[in-house]
Amino acid sequence: MTPKYRLLAEKITEYINNDNSLSRKLPTERQLAQMYDVSRQTVREALNILLRQKLIYKRRGSGIYISDSYFASRNKIALIVPSKEDYIWPIFISELKQSLSSLGYSLEIFESRESRKIEREILLSIQDELVRGIISVPVKSSVPNPNLALYDQLLSKHIPTLFITDVYSQSNDHSYVRFDDFYAVYRLTGEILSDSDDIYGIFMSDSNSSLSRYNGYIQAMLEAGINPDDEHILWLNCDSIKQYRKSGRIDEIEQFIKYLCKSRHMNTAVICHNDEIAAAFLDMFPKKETLPFIYSFDRSYLSRLEQYSMISLCVPVKELTDTIAKQAVTLLTEKKPVKTLLLPQK
């Protein structure tokens, strides 16, 4: 059974976090005892915990105060993204900063580099950071992740996480803002079938969102009376993307293209998990005049380059970041899980 003074320490911490009008000075020991209907001794023991955590400090003859560092961090949120500088993330970070700033919150940014090890190091460091909550892009979301235990530990310390763009397959109780990946590709596949004779797909085996996209593709194809062969689907993973970033090639895509060129129909389409995969496919395709129609996701800078002919789906960045910011604040202030699905558009 949890000692009463530890429960009280948690309640005082929650009081500090939730009272937006709070000054740096806390009520007196006597006032806290009355507020929570406990003894002065229980209050002292609870305050000692907060003193050791450097959440508060005592000023002789004046009272109890929130520490400067904690007070400054009351509205700081940790953002865990794959990168600060690559792909879609610089624009996303800039827009999210603005969205959160308008709601009175700030960001501290961490890079996971799509590494479970780095993600763990970040979460361990956050335990010592003074942040209100976490916004996180999952790493290899479809694969069981031991780091979820750390997310749970942080939640027990009143530091909740909002997963964005994806969610871990075994984290049903966690909050998220993600895309309706199943319906997005289900609808896209149905539209493509009206103009194309054959549709191929390139998906990510270690991404939960990509598995949902694959399921949407399969459902639409089956409803159209088409049962795709295994050769119509190429499965990649995070390491494949890293290979492309280093060498500009992905061996599996090269083999996939050879099969597609040998067996393709006149009007062929390829649905790619994201713009990087679409760019890799286009880089390696031998005859540009016979390119299939390419569809992808994220609408990154790659989709706007003249050398890449693709149609990329996304949720507008401002709409996405505004939604994430509002849901993050809801999670922090109302202490209720939030689950939001957004539909990417052409």
**CATH number, position 228:** 3.40.50.2300
Residue 23 pLDDT grade (very low, low, confident, very high; cuts 50, 70, 90): low
Question: Amino acid letter at 19?
Answer: D
**pLDDT tops 70 at residue 18:** no
Q: Over pLDDT 90: what percentage of the chain?
A: 61
21 vs 186: CA distance, rounded Å: 48
The rounded mean pLDDT for the chain is 90
Pick the closest to residue 314 from 180, 215, 190 (CA basis).
180
Q: Are residues 206 and 287 in the same domain?
A: yes
pLDDT at 22: 52
Tell me: the pLDDT tens digits for 210-227? 999 999 999 999 999 999
Q: Which residue has the higher pLDDT, 260 or 163?
A: 163
Q: Which domain holds residue 43?
A: 4-71
Q: Are residues 67 and 84 in the same domain?
A: no
**pLDDT tops 80 at residue 1:** no
104 vs 37: CA distance, rounded Å: 33
Q: Are residues 216 and 172 in the same domain?
A: no
Q: Are residues 149 and 193 in the same domain?
A: no
Average pLDDT of the residues in 241-260 = 89
Q: Are residues 242 and 285 in the same domain?
A: yes
Q: Are residues 198 and 304 in the same domain?
A: yes
Q: Are residues 294 and 244 in the same domain?
A: yes
Average pLDDT of the residues in 125-149 = 89
Examine the fold and report which residue of 71, 102, 123 is the final residue of a domain before the chain moves on: 71
Backbone torsions φ then ψ of 80, nearest 5 degrees: -105, 115
The predicted model scores a pTM of 0.81
Q: Are residues 191 and 306 in the same domain?
A: yes
Tell me: the pLDDT tens digits for 256-285? 999 888 876 668 899 999 999 999 999 999
